[in-house]
């Protein structure tokens, strides 16, 4: 069974600074996807960034980038130029490739990291 571990329950960063959130996972699969979702207080979960396991190049989305280390099973999220609106719970999630046998496409989430951006 796959597991996702986020070892930092809470983090804080000053506005405009850079912060890195950690995520490790365990799987025997070779084809899978990794995601970071953001859940602002009392609001819906939003996809921040995704990474396909077969791609060596790290994904980037504006101020958000990942450091994907497949051999180490590590998938950290870097937020540059932090903004007050980045304050939220951040969840790392794993999904087995949808078209592999037995995959239902459901996400397996870590426990989350609560990020506070301070002015």
Partner 1 sequence: DTGVSQNPRHKITKRGQNVTFRCDPISEHNRLYWYRQTLGQGPEFLTYFQNEAQLEKSRLLSDRFSAERPKGSFSTLEIQRTEQGDSAMYLCASSRGEAKNIQYFGAGTRLSVL
Distances from the Cα of 3 to the Cαs of 8, 34, 69, 94, in angstroms? 16, 12, 16, 8
Instruction: Give the dihedral sign, CA 77/56/53/43.
Output: positive
Say whether residue 59 binds partner 1 (CB under 8 A).
Answer: no
Say whether residue 84 binds partner 1 (CB under 8 A).
Answer: no
Say whether residue 86 binds partner 1 (CB under 8 A).
Answer: no
Say whether residue 112 binds partner 1 (CB under 8 A).
Answer: yes
Residues 18-57 that bind partner 1 (CB under 8 A): 33, 37, 42-47, 50, 52
Say whether residue 11 binds partner 1 (CB under 8 A).
Answer: no
Q: Which is nearer to partner 1, 13 or 33 (CB)?
A: 33
What phi and psi, each to the nearest 5 degrees, are found at residue 84? -55, -35
CB neighbours of 88 closer than 8 A, spacing ≥ 6?
38, 39, 40, 41, 114, 115
Say whether residue 99 binds partner 1 (CB under 8 A).
Answer: yes
- With 0-12 CB in 10 A as exposed, 13-18 as middle and 19+ as buried, what is 39? middle
Q: Which is nearer to partner 1, 35 or 79 (CB)?
A: 35
Q: Which is nearer to partner 1, 9 or 85 (CB)?
A: 9
Binding site for partner 1 (CB under 8 A): 4, 33, 37, 42-47, 50, 52, 91, 93, 95, 97-99, 104-112
């Amino acid at each position: 069974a796959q597991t996702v571990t986020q070892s930092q329950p809470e983090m804080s960063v000053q506005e405009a600074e850079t912060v890195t959130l950690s995520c490790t996972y365990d799987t025997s699969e070779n084809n899978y996807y990794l995601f970071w979702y953001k859940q602002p207080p009392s609001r819906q979960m939003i996809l921040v960034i995704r990474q396909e396991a077969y791609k060596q190049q790290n994904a980037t989305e504006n101020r958000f980038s990942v450091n994907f280390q497949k051999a180490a099973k590590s998938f950290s999220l870097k937020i540059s130029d932090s903004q007050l609106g980045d304050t939220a719970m951040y969840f790392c999630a794993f999904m087995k490739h949808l078209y592999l046998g037995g995959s239902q496409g459901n996400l397996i989430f870590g426990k989350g990291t609560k990020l506070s951006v301070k002015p």
